[in-house]
Amino acid sequence: MGIEHASLGVLVLMALLIGPVLYYIRLARQERELYVRRIPGVGAIDEAVGRAAELGRPVSYTSGLTGVGPVLYACLGVLYHVARKAARYKLKLLTPQSDAQVLVVAEDTLRDAYRAEGRLALLDARNNMYLSDEQFAFAAGYMGLMQREAVAATFLFGHFAAESLLLAEAGQQAGAMQVASTISPEQVPFFICTCDYTLIGEELFAAAAYLTREPVQLGSLYGQDRAKLLMFVAIVVGVVIATLNSIYPELQLRNIEDYILRELW
């Protein structure tokens, strides 16, 4: 909207976006059943880990160039699930990292997961390794690791840039079953071409909720879907107003942005 500082209008919009989330988190905590549609890519996560268990080969999970932030927390939900499965089937889980802070956070999540399965002794901290924060050095390290370890399943969840195809091709050449998910729209086509299953955009956030079934995550997923519905309605109304203004200029209908800036401001 071309503003440096938000004000009342944006505050109202934020409340409208966050309100449903808090409401549904409360509902989920009261143990109300919240239905989440099955996403094929999420189901494939268990399939890929199972395949690795059958082959007796390692599993790899990377969050790419993701730094500490909201996206990482969504990735950690999936990592927790994968790590529990790996601990249960006594699989070697490789988690190459490109960010030193993420390395520490991931280590904590891995410890939680292995402890939850009662197999903390199986956790090898050397498998949670820092490769490089330099994009292509990280990609080179990851590619070598996939080849050397002959991984059977790879999970690429998080933020990726030009190295996405290098990472996914390395898994493909190692003959791994690959599940990818990214919020970077530019990298989605590369993953679709190279991976067996691809979760697009917000499905990354939905995956953690679906897998962990935690009330907070389920409630947020429900809430954010309602918030998006609100945005969808706003977009439709905006399109209708713009179309009517274009066909019947004499109507001079005010658009939503104009209304927010002038009335709610």
Partner 1 sequence: MQYRAKLIKLVTFLGGIYYFLEFVLPASIAGVKIDQYHEQISNGFVAVGAAAIGLGLINLLMVHGSRIIFRRRGWFESCALLLGLTAMAYATAGEWAGSVDSSAQAGRLMMLREFSDRIMADAAANKADVLPVSKRNQFLYDAATKEIPELRALVTRLSNMAGEDVETARAQRLSPRVLAATDALVSGLEDLPRGEAAVGDVGKNSEISQRLADASVLSREGETLLFEQTRTKRFYEFLYQSFFISLGAAMFSLLGFYIAAAAYRAFRIRSSESALMLCAALLVMLGQIPFGLWIWDGFPEVRVWLLSIPSSGAFRAIKIGALVAGLVMAFRMWLSIESESFAERS
1 binds partner 1 (CB under 8 A): no
Residue 7: CA count within 13 A, CB half-sphere: 11
193 binds partner 1 (CB under 8 A): yes
Under 8 Å CB-to-CB from 28, ≥6 apart: which residues? 34, 215, 216, 218, 219, 222
Query: Is 182 in contact with 207 (CB distance < 8 Å)?
Result: no
CA distance 128 to 145: 12
- Tell me which of 59, 65, 74, 93 binds partner 1, using CB under 8 A: 74
Instruction: For residue 181, list its beta bridge partners.
Output: 157, 199
Q: Which helix (H) or strand (E) holds 61?
A: strand 59-64
31 binds partner 1 (CB under 8 A): no
Q: Which is nearer to partner 1, 162 or 244 (CB)?
A: 162
The radius of gyration computed from the CA coordinates of the chain, to the nearest angstrom, equals 22
What's phi and psi for 154, nearest 5 deg? Answer: -125, 145
Q: Which is nearer to partner 1, 107 or 169 (CB)?
A: 169
79 binds partner 1 (CB under 8 A): no
3-state secondary structure of 67: coil
Contact stretch for partner 1 (CB under 8 A) within 36-44, 68-76, 242-250, 254-262: 68-76
Minimum CB distance to partner 1, residue 94 (Å): 16
23 binds partner 1 (CB under 8 A): no
202 binds partner 1 (CB under 8 A): yes
Query: Is 177 in contact with 196 (CB distance < 8 Å)?
Result: yes
CA distance 57 to 175: 11
Q: Which two structure tokens, joined as six digits, stand for 16?
A: 């409208």
- Tell me which of 7, 147, 243, 255 binds partner 1, using CB under 8 A: 7
27 binds partner 1 (CB under 8 A): no
- Tell me which of 107, 112, 149, 196 binds partner 1, using CB under 8 A: 112
- Contact positions vs partner 1 (CB under 8 A): 4-7, 10-11, 14, 17-18, 21, 25, 69-71, 73-74, 80, 100-101, 112, 115-116, 134-137, 139-140, 162, 165-166, 168-169, 172, 183, 185, 188-190, 192-194, 200-202, 204-206, 214-217, 220, 223-224, 227-228, 231
